[in-house]
Amino acid sequence: MKVSASGLHKDYAGTKALDGIDLDVDGDVSVLALIGPSGGGKSTLLRVLGGLEIPDNGSVSISGKNMDFGSEAALLAHRRSNGFLFQSFNLFPHKSALANISLPLEKVHGLLESEARERAMDALKRFNLTEHAAKFPAQLSGGQQQRVAIARAIAHGPGLLFLDEPTSALDPEMTAEVLDLIAELKEGGQNIVLSTHEMGFARQVADEVAFLAEGKIIEIGTASWLFEQGEDARLRQFLSRVMRY
């Protein structure tokens, strides 16, 4: 993936969610992981990169194309070209797993109903969810719901997949299941930007890791370098806390 940002600022009622973010990710990176304390700016940065949030200042370029934050049409096109999964599953409770995937393909991406259903079934099959196609979200486990949500996010073939704490609502077994799925997506060639508190996963799967705190990228580099050689005191303190047990 090629993602760059320059001078990103975003305030919420006087709170600096992003405070001059600069980012430059080259084409050799397929998974970028954002780590850091809660409130450090990870979710806001994801939403800005995905075109879901407009920064107060700064610029973003995805795959060499500058994002036009002043054009709703351009932002809509950008959102349609990517996939999103945030902390809550956001599945339609009154729709089946199949319909949760096929409906956006029809309404957002303009596919015919038959084509949308076929592609949705392919996505469910890919994630071993075929037998759950007719079930409603309340009939699925948390891990199954998250897999349906990921299937929906990638069914249209997104350029980038944005994941914001994709395991935050899951128990340890379901967390491992979803993390394995994300690793499989990487192996399949999907470019991913995600925020996570799963340090072992970030260290093993991410090509590059950025540590955010107080609205800034404090350190960024390969996973092995950042976890083993990152020098900033805030990074070392954060890692000592989250990797203690």
Q: What per-residue confidence (pLDDT) applies to 245?
A: 65
Residues 167 and 70 in one domain: yes
**How many domains is the chain partitioned into structurally?**
2
Residues 4 and 58 in one domain: yes
Measured distance CA(124)–CA(131) in Å, rounded: 9
Q: Residue 112: CB partners within 8 Å, gap ≥ 6?
A: 106
Question: Among 134, 157, 180, where does a domain finish?
Answer: 157
Residues 61 and 171 in one domain: yes
Measured distance CA(177)–CA(37) in Å, rounded: 24
Q: Model's pTM, two decimal places?
A: 0.91
Residues 149 and 228 in one domain: no
Angle separating helix axes 172-187 and 142-154, nearest 10 degrees = 20
Residues 69 and 96 in one domain: no
Average pLDDT, integer, range 20-46: 93
Token pair in block for residue 135: 């079930």
Average pLDDT, integer, range 55-79: 94
Residues 151 and 171 in one domain: no
Long-range contacts of 61-64 (CB under 8 A, 24+ apart): 61/2, 61/3, 61/4, 61/5, 62/2, 62/3, 62/159, 62/160, 63/1, 63/2, 63/3, 63/159, 64/2
Residues 95 and 149 in one domain: yes
Residues 148 and 168 in one domain: no
pLDDT band at 170 (very low <50, low <70, confident <90, very high): confident
In tens, the pLDDT along 209-223 reads: 999 999 999 999 999
Residues 75 and 108 in one domain: no
Residues 116 and 69 in one domain: no
Average pLDDT, integer, range 72-101: 90
In tens, the pLDDT along 55-65 reads: 999 999 999 89
Question: Among 114, 137, 157, where does a domain finish?
Answer: 157
Residues 151 and 200 in one domain: no
Q: Domain range for residue 137? A: 89-157
Measured distance CA(170)–CA(21) in Å, rounded: 30
Low-confidence winner among 12-21, 29-38, 176-185, 213-222 (lowest mean pLDDT): 176-185
Q: Which of 51, 53, 148 is nearest to 93 (CA)?
A: 148
Cβ proximity of 154 and 119 under 8 Å: no
pLDDT band at 85 (very low <50, low <70, confident <90, very high): confident
Percent of the chain whose predicted confidence (pLDDT) is above 90? 73
Q: Which residue has the higher pLDDT, 134 or 27?
A: 134
Question: Among 157, 190, 215, where does a domain finish?
Answer: 157
CATH number at residue 168: 3.40.50.300
Residues 135 and 183 in one domain: no
Handedness of CA 100, 105, 111, 117 (dihedral sign): negative
Cβ proximity of 169 and 98 under 8 Å: no
